[in-house]
Amino acid sequence: MQYPSGIHLMEVFGLLRYMRDLFPPKMPLPICECMLLQAISETEGGGQKGRRVSELGAQIHMAMPAASRILGSFEQKGLIVRRIDEGDRRAVYIRLTPEGEQKLEEIRRFVYAHLDGIAQQFGEENICALEKLLRQLLGLIPGHTGKEKG
């Protein structure tokens, strides 16, 4: 069926909702928690401080109260540590503990094992083309550059 362009784009967005089904049904943690662990691991320049809570929430588009609640759970489980910056006592930095790094590695192995088969079927060329098109589209949305991390 032929749609006007705007309606067609809405249909594409509707299809993107189903991409969550790419993830295995029995994840070691909920997807939002997996994404937060991954974001914590991405400490800029290998710095020892860690990541600020505000950076983490913004990176994965999570509200601060939700991010704080999950971080509290991570802290209770021994997956992260919080450190107050001595130079700016308002700044709290988050780092993975060895247990947190181990949990993240478990998640990566689990997800990659599941997604590798799908990626091989879809093909590297298609994956690159899809990423390029999605980044172009994202770049058209005010406040985005299309160069954001996934």
Q: Which tokens go with 130?
A: 């899809």
DSSP string, 64-105: HHHHHHHHHHHHHHTSEEEEE-SS-TT-EEEEE-HHHHHHHH
In whole angstroms, what is the distance from residue 144 CA to residue 150 CA?
13
Query: Strand, coil or helix: what is 51?
Result: strand
Residue range 98-144, pLDDT digits in tens: 999 999 999 999 888 888 889 999 999 999 999 999 889 888 888 87
Residue range 10-60, pLDDT digits in tens: 888 888 888 878 777 788 888 889 989 998 998 754 456 788 877 887 788
The CA distances from residue 119 to 31, 47, 106, 109, in Å, are 19, 33, 20, 15
